[in-house]
Amino acid sequence: MSAVFDFSPAAIAELARADAARALAEDVGAGDLTAGLVDPARRAVARVLARESAVICGAPWAEAAFAQVDPGLKVRWLVPEGSRCQADQVVLEVEGAARSLLTAERTALNFLQLLSAVATKTATYVEAVRGTRAQIVDTRKTLPGLRLAQKYAVKTGGGTNHRIGLYDAVLIKENHIAAAGGVTAVLRQARDVAARATFVEIEVERLDQLQEALDNGARMVLLDNMDLPMLREAVRINAGRAILEISGGVTLEKLRALAETGVDRISIGTLTKDIKATDFSMRLKEL
């Protein structure tokens, strides 16, 4: 059930380069008018400070932003990717032309603050279900154009990726079932595309739908907005035949109880959708 994007270091580096190029074009355009006020010969060291505890994520994107502005900038991470920093800790130092540091600052920090926030939130949810069988899974509720970056951040925080997009897996939801003529009919249709998909999953809202799905060979079922007694009964009915996933109305407060029902996966849109950026600041010191 792995997503089609392999998240290898080489693939991540190429993704980060493309994302950074797009972001710099948006921010810098024809040139940084304000940084142009600084003597091009001046050199400085920039220290990036985390204002709060966080799981650091986004190093490839920050590095790509600095490198594309000025390949001569020297980057040194004091807190490695995927490690937790403490409040008021310096996580990164960058040395080089002061103009270049000023131009790259906002793009580099934008990636760092977003992706660290996603990784940190994911880590919190993963910790809440520790000791159960449940995996924490992301969704397609991502920022347009930054889905792969955010899914990378979920993995960095210890979570699991769901499908990347509409093209790599089948997820049959309520409207698909209604349009196709019911659970049995839509699952029969899904057999024709199963070989091209990383997985086929069907969403159900009732226990009778779950039974019908299982009777028609479903191997992955999304249990939508079920309460705890209903979820426990779903796990009993399933008896290990299909992978069971919870979705809908999941909060951190309810998460442990949901995981303890015995389901395999809990998908959570808030990991990538409702994000408060991690607070970072950059300070320059002239050399």
Residues forming the active site: 106, 141, 173, 203, 224
In sequence order, which ranges of the chain are alpha helices (DSSP H)?
9-28, 59-69, 98-128, 147-156, 174-180, 183-190, 207-215, 228-238, 252-259
Contacts of 58 (CB under 8 A, 6+ apart): 81, 111, 112, 113, 114, 115, 116, 149, 153
Q: Measured between alpha carbons, how far is 56 from 157 in angstroms, rounded to an integer? A: 9
> Own/partner pairs for 281-284, CB < 8 Å, 24+ apart?
281/48, 281/49, 281/51, 281/109, 282/46, 282/47, 282/48, 282/49, 282/101, 282/105, 282/109, 283/46, 283/47, 283/49, 284/44, 284/45, 284/46, 284/98, 284/101, 284/102
Write the CA distances from 108 to 22, 49, 87, 208, 231, integer angstroms.
12, 13, 19, 51, 43
Taking each helix axis from N to C end, the angle separating 207-215 and 228-238, rounded to the nearest 10 degrees, works out to 20
- At 208, list the tokens: 């009778």
Q: Measured between alpha carbons, how far is 10 from 78 in angstroms, rounded to an integer? A: 22
Burial degree of 274 (CB within 10 A; 0-12, 13-18, 19+):
exposed
Comparing CA positions, the residue from 131, 135, 122 lying closest to residue 264 is 135
